[in-house]
Amino acid sequence: MSIELGHFALVLAFAIALLSALGGLTLWRRGERLAAVLSQAAILQFVLVALAFLAVVHAFVVSDFSLALAANHSHSLKPLIFKISGVWGNHEGSMLLWVLILVLFGALAAAFSRELPSDLTNLVLGTQSLLTAAFAGFTLFTSNPFARLSPAPLEGGDLNPVLQDIGLAIHPPLLYAGYVGFSICFSFAIAALVSGRIDQAWARWVRPWTMLSWTFLTLGIAMGSYWAYYELGWGGWWFWDPVENASFMPWLAGTALLHSALVMEKRNALKIWTIFLAIITFSLSLLGTFLVRSGILTSVHTFASDPTRGLVILTMLAILIGGAFLLFAIRSPALRQGGLFAPISREGALILNNLFLATAVGAVLVGTLYPLLLDALTGTTISVGAPFFNFTFGALMAPLLLVLPFGPLLAWKRADLVAAGQRLMGFAALAVFLAILISALAGNSISLVPVGLLLGFWVTFGAIAELIERSRIGRIPLAESLRRLAGLPRSIWSTAIGHMGMGLTVLGIVSVSAWETELVTTLNPGETAELSGYVIAFDSFEQIPGANYVADAGRFTVTSPNGDLATLIPERRTYVASGMPTTEAAIQTYGLSQLYLQLGESLDDTHVIRVWHKPYILLIWIGALVMSGAGILSLSDRRVRFGVPQTSRRTKLEASR
Amino acid sequence: MLRVTLLCLALFMTPAAHALGPDEILPDPALEQRARDISAGLRCLVCQNQSIDDSDADLARDLRVLVRERLVAGDTNAEVEQYVVDRYGEYVLLNPRLGGHTLLLWTAAPLLLIVGLVALLVARRRMVPPTPDALTPEELAALENLKHGSDKTGA
């Protein structure tokens, strides 16, 4: 019964979304009263979709296998958390989650729209409802999660074992929150184009939404990367896989949008470009959804390949994105550019940032789609893999990282590059020194490693240059410096912390690519092996029964170079329901480095083991966490909050003095 | 991320095949390192986007063994690569070769950067201080008034 109620709730939400979209987009001049209706409709859409979602979750939790979705993707023996996460571990359920997050953002936009002019509210909520109608309709008509089975099977078909992991509970919701959050920026862009109202206030409303989505997307991508790292069994953390690229492109575009919206908010410049980026960013999110959901790419994320669904999504995409760009083409020439600035200025630096990020988006997009298009047009099949992306992307990021520390030190309008350079001199020297020292110690003579290290340290230290500058550490008493630091606006802190996170990630990537060591060998219980100073003793081999699997497990004692003992138990699992095997690597953390131990297949009487030492690999994800933290800090700044007026000029001057 | 392996696991994994195993590693470390360098650029043909080094598929194992055989036979890295391409097609290379069919792929990034730079320069040239709006009829009238007023006082 609850299933049918859920189904009905989704149908109702679809109908309300359709009406809201029609009303909002045609009658947007009608003012306050329409805005009130649309706000309530947005909240109602959220409540209804949440009910629909809960109905499916309930069926999974109580193992109601009369629901086809549960019968195909769940199992009564699964632990509770995987029963719940299993809801979105399949095509239909993940579309429902997509719609749920879409209406959640719609409801949030409605709740926070009180300060907005009613025209803008109407258009934003109308566009948001249009998106909801499109995707709720897609879910209902092509991927109905509420289909019943009769007779109901006694047992479910089980969730793919690789997906039975805490990663599935966290990764898709975060990623979708990032993807879908950009829909608000998209709706604001459409509203701006339709109403012609594009000013600094618009940028101030859009930036928190961009920041929120970007923070979620950063966390989602980092989480997915760490999940792949520990689950796949050989410690790879980024593959330039098309599906990964699909999530990475909105991140790059979103990063560019964050920076260009800043220029628009502070200086009223880059308006057309910012609108364009807002449309592009969400379009890339949609493209990602299309690539993953259409079955064009065969992957574990695709769940089910159904060409008709792909065609429907492609059509929706063409209409939504095409319509948005058509509107852009018609309306943008009428927009007035404002805000003059010299090339060497904060604006100039942010434009450079946007140039490189946008080019990187283009390069990744071309690399991802090129093989598909070439195959479709000429029948020639080629592969575009990690070596291509590493080279192209690396070449574009290096100059960006090089100029990054200068940005925050340059003044708006017209800046003194030499003065900024002088202030960074110490940090540059420190970065060069450390890069040379570490390269010399590690014995890398001719390679890109020193360059990578240099960039990593340069960005990490350069990020705090502004903090040091403003607090005058070393030039005035320490207590006074600390008081100044505490008094700095949060936007300055979040800029510094965000950039530092970027530097940390670069350092992690460089060190693990350069100094990872590996050992592949056969070992019997009682024998030992050694890798990078770590002694790995194979104690015993046993079978451990799990909740819904049986595992071959090895028990290893690892002695680190400074004598610490640790017990590692890597497993090879066979899942009862599907008979599928998975490897569960054992990972031991030493500071920022990790030892990664995988129990391989049994070979005759002996066991294959694979061990990797991954120096400073944790920096990759710590950097991402630091970046997300900077995003949250920035959101907590009262000056970016909705409707709160700018800090008065006097307070600002005091803070910067 | 997970996609690739899963597909391989699901479709192609037999108990005999696994990622690089100890029995495959060459005794000569220099030669083995070259084998690794080559393998990192070769695609597991039955997987989605995985190098043969990381893949569990049978075919990937065959390719790993083949690469090592050619190396032991004295081939250069380029010769080994060509040998594999001759048999499996260019699809096997993760780093596509520069040629007519990949010209756009390889030049896309530099082209985009140049287009972006040119667009910036053009935008910069166009960026002139906004000319003040023309005077409104009221303002003109007021101006006229002032002129006349001064004329009168002058007369």
Give per-10-residue mean pLDDT for chain A (657 aa). Answer: 90 94 86 87 95 94 90 86 88 92 94 84 93 93 88 80 81 91 94 86 88 95 90 80 88 94 84 91 88 62 59 85 91 73 82 93 92 85 87 89 85 77 77 74 64 85 84 80 84 90 92 87 89 91 84 91 91 80 88 91 80 93 95 79 44 44
- Cβ contact (<8 Å) for B3 and A299? yes
pLDDT of residue A600: 83
Instruction: Report yes or no on A537 lying in a domain.
Output: yes
Residues B71 and B146 in one domain: no
Nearest by CB to A384, which of B10, B92, B96? Answer: B96
Contacts 24+ apart (CB under 8 A), B70-79: B71/B26, B71/B31, B71/B34, B71/B35, B71/B38, B72/B26, B72/B31, B77/B34, B77/B37, B77/B38
Q: Which two tokens stand for residue A277?
A: 């980026």
Residues A155 and A12 in one domain: yes
- Cβ contact (<8 Å) for A359 and B54? no
A152 C-beta neighbours (distance < 10 Å), count: 14
Query: Would you tell me the crossing angle of helices B77-88 and B58-72 to the nearest 10 degrees?
Result: 140
Number of domains in chain B: 2
Q: What is the DSSP letter of A488?
A: S
Residues A29 and A46 in one domain: yes
Structural domain including B84 reads 2-92
Residue of B nearest to A356 (CA): B113
Q: The domain spanning residue B18 has which CATH number?
A: 1.10.8.640
Region label for A556, one of left (φ > 0), alpha (ψ between -120 and 50) or beta (otherwise): beta
Instruction: Report yes or no on A379 lying in a domain.
Output: no
Instruction: Report yes or no on A341 lying in a domain.
Output: no
Number of domains in chain A: 4
Exposure string of A433-450, with b = 16+ CB inside 10 Å and e = fewer, is ebbeebbeeeeeeeeebb
Residues A303 and A425 in one domain: no
pLDDT of residue A638: 62
Number of alpha helices (DSSP H) and beta strands (DSSP E) in chain A: 19, 10
The secondary structure of A216-233 as a DSSP string is HHHHHHHHHHHHHHHHSS
- Phi and psi at A194, nearest 5°, equal -70, -45
Region label for B74, one of left (φ > 0), alpha (ψ between -120 and 50) or beta (otherwise): left
Instruction: Report yes or no on A640 lying in a domain.
Output: yes
Instruction: Report yes or no on A386 lying in a domain.
Output: no
ipTM above 0.90, yes or no: no
Nearest by CB to A239, which of B1, B90, B113? Answer: B1
Domain final position from B92, B114, B136: B92
- Each residue's pLDDT, cut to its tens digit, for chain B (155 residues) gives 444 444 444 433 333 346 777 778 888 888 888 888 888 888 887 776 778 887 777 888 888 889 999 998 888 889 998 999 998 888 888 888 888 888 999 999 999 999 999 988 887 777 655 555 677 778 888 888 887 765 544 43
Work out the widest C-alpha separation in chain B, in whole angstroms: 113
pLDDT of residue B127: 64
pLDDT of residue A79: 86
Partners of A601 on chain B (C-beta within 8 Å) are 15, 18, 21
Q: Which two tokens stand for residue A135?
A: 């995707």
- Cβ contact (<8 Å) for A366 and B108? yes
Residues A325 and A423 in one domain: no
Residues A221 and A362 in one domain: yes
In Å, what is the CA distance from A54 to each residue of A87, A103, B103?
10, 14, 51
- Phi and psi at A519, nearest 5°, equal -140, 125
Residues A136 and A32 in one domain: yes
Structural domain including A198 reads 165-329+346-373
Domain final position from B59, B74, B92: B92
Residues B85 and B14 in one domain: yes
Residues A450 and A536 in one domain: no
Residues B84 and B109 in one domain: no
The distance of B152 to chain A (nearest Cα, Å) reads 43
Residues A353 and A204 in one domain: yes
Partners of A351 on chain B (C-beta within 8 Å) are 120
Domain final position from B92, B114, B138: B92
Residues B72 and B126 in one domain: no
d(CA A233, CA A536): 18
In Å, what is the CA distance from A520 to each residue of A97, A529, A536, A650, B35?
41, 10, 12, 65, 15
pLDDT of residue A619: 94
Contact A553, A542 (CB under 8 A): yes
Domain final position from A159, A178, A193: A159
- Cβ contact (<8 Å) for B96 and A300? no
Contacts of A657 (CB under 8 A, 6+ apart): none
Amino acid A398 reads A
Nearest by CB to B54, which of A162, A234, A388? Answer: A234
pLDDT of residue A99: 95
d(CA A15, CA A136): 9
Residues A154 and A177 in one domain: no
Query: How big is the A-B interface in CB pairs under 8 Å?
Result: 156
pLDDT of residue B4: 43
Partners of B54 on chain A (C-beta within 8 Å) are 234, 236
Contacts of A584 (CB under 8 A, 6+ apart): A231, A233, A551, A570, A571, A572, A573
| pTM as predicted | 0.87
d(CA A596, CA A585): 7
Domain final position from A121, A138, A159: A159
Nearest by CB to A162, which of B2, B18, B93? Answer: B2
